[in-house]
Structure 1
């Protein structure tokens, strides 16, 4: 019952910290924290909407906010570069700070809403493609759960200690349930967990793969997007599993075959890969080495931070800054790009 309260308190604390960082940056404090530049992470880019349950609202920003973010960074002197150019940029003496934009999972709204914004500002970007989503063989379990938990008042599920009925009669209870399922996906074999979530959804009349088809681009759409001069496609594995939890052989195949698939779409081997989830629990130093051995020149996590000269020695484990749906204010973009929140939080 505490999920909503905890989330609200956390968001207020984060917003307060960003306001302090923005003030410090305006005052010229801690200039070294900015480093050489930053890679920004996006997922959904679409107009604001309402749903019965939005547990992943942090992964959604509006096209207007994306435009505001680009304008703020431009006003602060950032140069917008393709992700693949970062190794060369880090190898040269510092000029102006740079920014690269990335979008994970291949959502259709990336082409419908994000592309026009990037095109209007002349900003290059990379979309990371999961083959299982594009071919409709794998579900987006977090989207499936949002649909399921949002519509039901109770569900029956076995997390491993016997089937139990989960009360979903309030928003707080729905968020608690979502958090429990999220933990479940990280506790057991991910393929098994997602399969059981999909089966639960089917019992309630929801086809998880239909959700995948509704939300993500297929092969033809990805090829059309890749034809735009500002767009690049990167690898995002086959099945969107946390590679750190796989054997080294399986992690390698997830990455290699993902690159193979992107190459069939574009005719070019992708230079970049994004690790699914990208947290410290989801990707390890072993996986950085695998990505390097497979020939990726850039690989990105979701661990927050800016880039500096030292980043050149860990190009397959680079940090990114998330443009978070809860903090859609230009001053927060300035605060994040300053690097101060990550320095203070280190």
Structure 2
């Protein structure tokens, strides 16, 4: 119960902040905080599918919202550029309209089925970040496995390292609390081992994690098809989707390099951009930005929220992005985020 109240309160606070930022933008206040432009990050783009338990709902938006968000940014005067063109845009003359670049992580099939038609209708370029292990069906998506598993069960038993524990799952709040417990477990332990134990738990309960991957993620053939579209680009997103900052340097570099090799084999040339899995401060560090530059990437993106003011070569490998969140699907929120006002209200400046 307490978990549900806390989540609702947090969303209300965020909605209030976005509404305030939208009002300030419409009033012409704080015009100087937007910077040169913004990179948006998305995951799923698909029609709404009501579910009683949806802990990953923040990772999916509707095609209609994407359409409205792009139309609003057009009205605001944004230029839409590919991520590969971002370094030249930043280095070029400043007397240009602000830019917006769209990126989508993981290679979800709905990006091909639902996002591509929206981008094509507006003539907007976009980049899909490919996780090799998902595309090749050798790795699972632990957050999707958990959502499906916890949505099925009324009770679950698991050992988080302190002995077997049992959890009632007959209410959404209980399921959400257990989901958060598992997420903390994944990020606090050896990630491969933790995910392996989640996969094992799922199989014991009649759920095959790789079936979820097959149903959700584009395979090599589909990625090849998508890459031939003139508006589409593919970027690297590692092999296993583990937090790179928590891996030994040689292993992190291998994850990045092998992912680039996989994408290069699909598109015929080395990708210029990489998205770091999770992209949070504890999942990607300056070390990964250095490795990206050494491996030949010209752009590296995090999920650290922010707009872009200017960027050195090092900063280009550690850029912020703005999330189009499934809980806040209003076009004025996309406009407000791109304005830079929400981040400034939180005491953050555009990325330099």
Measured against the shorter chain, the TM-score band is over 0.9
Contact 2:275-2:302 within 8 A present in 1 as well: yes
Contact 1:15-1:327 within 8 A present in 2 as well: yes
* CA distances 1:84-113 after superposition (whole Å, capped 9, x unpaired): 111001101220110000000000000000
SS in 2 for 1:290: helix
* CA distances 1:141-169 after superposition (whole Å, capped 9, x unpaired): 00000100001000110000001111101
Matches within 5 A, 1:276-291: 276-291=277-292
Q: How many residues align?
A: 346
Contact 1:2-1:176 within 8 A present in 2 as well: no
Q: CA deviation at 1:310?
A: 3.9
> What residue number does 1:337 align with?
338
Inter-partner Cα distance in structure 2 for 1:230 and 1:261: 20
Contact 1:52-1:151 within 8 A present in 2 as well: no
Inter-partner Cα distance in structure 2 for 1:311 and 1:149: 45
Q: CA deviation at 1:311?
A: 5.8
Aligned pair 1:51/2:66, yes or no? Answer: no
SS in 1 for 2:223: helix
Inter-partner Cα distance in structure 2 for 1:101 and 1:243: 23
Q: CA deviation at 1:312?
A: 5.6
Matches within 5 A, 1:142-161: 142-161=143-162
> What residue number does 1:38 align with?
38
Matches within 5 A, 1:265-284: 265-284=266-285
Contact 2:226-2:232 within 8 A present in 1 as well: yes
> What residue number does 2:183 align with?
182
Aligned pair 1:111/2:83, yes or no? Answer: no
> What residue number does 1:168 align with?
169
Inter-partner Cα distance in structure 1 for 2:162 and 2:288: 33
Inter-partner Cα distance in structure 2 for 1:47 and 1:275: 27
> What residue number does 1:6 align with?
6
> What residue number does 1:217 align with?
218
Inter-partner Cα distance in structure 1 for 2:83 and 2:315: 15
RMSD value over aligned CA atoms?
A: 0.8
Inter-partner Cα distance in structure 2 for 1:32 and 1:247: 41
Matches within 5 A, 1:63-102: 63-94=63-94, 95-102=96-103
Inter-partner Cα distance in structure 1 for 2:188 and 2:314: 32
TM-score, normalized by length of structure 2? 0.97
Q: CA deviation at 1:50?
A: 1.4
Contact 1:311-1:318 within 8 A present in 2 as well: no
> What residue number does 1:324 align with?
325
Inter-partner Cα distance in structure 2 for 1:262 and 1:52: 37
Inter-partner Cα distance in structure 2 for 1:332 and 1:100: 16
